[in-house]
Amino acid sequence: MVAAGTIATFLVAGGASLFMAWAIGAGSSGSTPFAPAVGANAISVMRAGFIVGLLGLAGAVLQGANVTEAVGRELIRGVTLSATAATVALITAAILVAIGVFAGYPIATAFTVTGAVVGVGLAMGGAPAWAKYQEIVALWIATPFIGGSIAYATARALRNERVAERFAVPALAALVGAILANVEFVLLGPPGEAASLASTAATAVPWFSPTVASLGVTLLFAVLVGLALFADIRGDPEAGQRHFLLALGGLVAFSAGGSQVGLALGPLLPLLDPFEIPIVAVLLGGGLGLLLGSWTGAPRMIKALAQDYSALGPRRSIAALIPSFAIAQTAVFFGIPVSFNEIIVSAIIGSGYAAGGSDVSGSKMGYTVLAWVASLVLALGVSYGAFAAVDLVL
């Protein structure tokens, strides 16, 4: 039987988690996926906030388990987060993210949550999880270089007059289709596991090896997606580009939900064991928090990213969203907390420099990078000190 005090502390920590989910929905997961599409005038700010909330909710439920487990159980060794520690970590991170939302600067949510969880874990006497930190830092450092470079190269190719858009854009769609075919969903796998469309379909073709069958399904899916967009662009080039851009925004929004919900729910995992609550129900609650944040707070950040960072056209927006989707799904697959602000902003910069970089705000970029670094250091220090003070009083 669960004690009343345990229930009370869990409710407090749960409230802090919902606050964090709202802050994430209003910030990174709610604003970044459709910012390039808004910048390209493919969708309005308010409609983007509405759609991204629904897609984020779906992504949280279908793909949120990996990152949630990583944040809740793999960032610190030797101790299990208490209710007090989880509450302190979540409130510290949520306040920093909320400050960024209202100040108009996209704070890297993964930086703040990771720093806060590590801070309280160290204050509890835990040991650093160096192997996990190496994975996380490697992705964080690689993201701006890989995402920015791919966005730059893609935007340059689409701007090249020798490359016909009616072929180039469907080819990019085929690439996205190949990635999508290998994205894992919990509904496709056995209980407690996830599976992709390619791996699931490959099991229905027993006369080929799983690798060959999966590759064949991937190629088939890529061809179908590419041909569908080719037909759309052939009928109306501008409408076809807009449809592809909105589809990319939707995929990134879905991926954002799968990654960012873990930042809000991860610290709660050790507290859920006595209650035996299904992880799907927990992910649904976190997804609803993201949804509420997207609907109430995301429009401000969407405007900041779409207009303050770079005036994007459809081609550069497509170039920004393709690497964003790929990097996001890589992070979800490996269970690594990643900042969607870092992913999208880096891709926006890369696509912006493909046009000469004249409309990319250098000062805004500098302040943003400083905010990212400061959020990590500040979250770690504040959460460590706050937990130590609360623990001393209690």
Q: Quote the pLDDT of residue 364.
A: 67
Number of domains in the chain: 1
Out of 170-179, 192-201, 241-250, the most confident range is 170-179
pLDDT digits (tens, 9 = 90+) for 236-266: 888 888 889 889 989 988 998 888 899 989 8
| Dihedral sign from CA coordinates of 158, 159, 164, 165 | positive
pLDDT band at residue 44 under the 50/70/90 scheme: confident
Q: Which of 4-13, 191-200, 213-222 has the lowest mean pLDDT?
A: 4-13
- Of the pLDDT bands very low, low, confident and very high (cuts 50, 70, 90), residue 310 is very low
Q: Give the distance from CA 272 to its chain's centroid.
A: 24
Cα torsion 373, 374, 375, 378: sign: positive
Instruction: Provide the pLDDT for residue 362.
Output: 65
Lowest mean pLDDT among 24-28, 76-80, 384-388: 24-28
Higher pLDDT residue, 141 or 207?
A: 141
Which amino acid, residue 153? A
Average pLDDT over residues 303-311: 59
Residue 5: per-residue pLDDT: 57
Each residue of 312-328: pLDDT tens digit? 677 888 888 899 999 99
Q: For residue 35, which of 98, 104, 99 has the smallest C-alpha distance?
A: 104
Is the distance from CB of 76 to CB of 5 less than 8 angstroms?
A: no
Stronger pLDDT, 170 or 311, i.e. the higher one: 170
Instruction: Output the pLDDT for position 104.
Output: 61
Instruction: Find tokens 């899916």 and name the residue.
Output: 221
Res 345 pLDDT > 90: no
30-39, 62-71, 92-101, 171-180 — which is least confidently predicted? 30-39
- In this predicted structure, the answer to whether residue 381 has a pLDDT above a threshold of 90 is yes
Mean of pLDDT over the chain: 83
The length of the chain, given as a count of residues: 394
Percentage above 90 pLDDT, the chain: 28
Nearest alpha carbon to residue 10 among 71, 68, 83, 79: 83
Q: What is the pLDDT of residue 106?
A: 57
Pairing verdict, β 184-185 and 195-196 = antiparallel
Predicted local distance difference test score (pLDDT) of residue 114: 93
Full domain range(s) for residue 218: 4-393
pLDDT at 80: 87
- pLDDT of the residue at 30: 63
Cβ-count burial of 98 within 10 angstroms (0-12 exposed, 13-18 middle, 19+ buried)? Answer: buried
Predicted confidence at residue 299, as pLDDT, reads 74
pTM of the model: 0.85
Residue 309 pLDDT greater than 50, yes or no: no
pLDDT value at 352 more than 80 = no
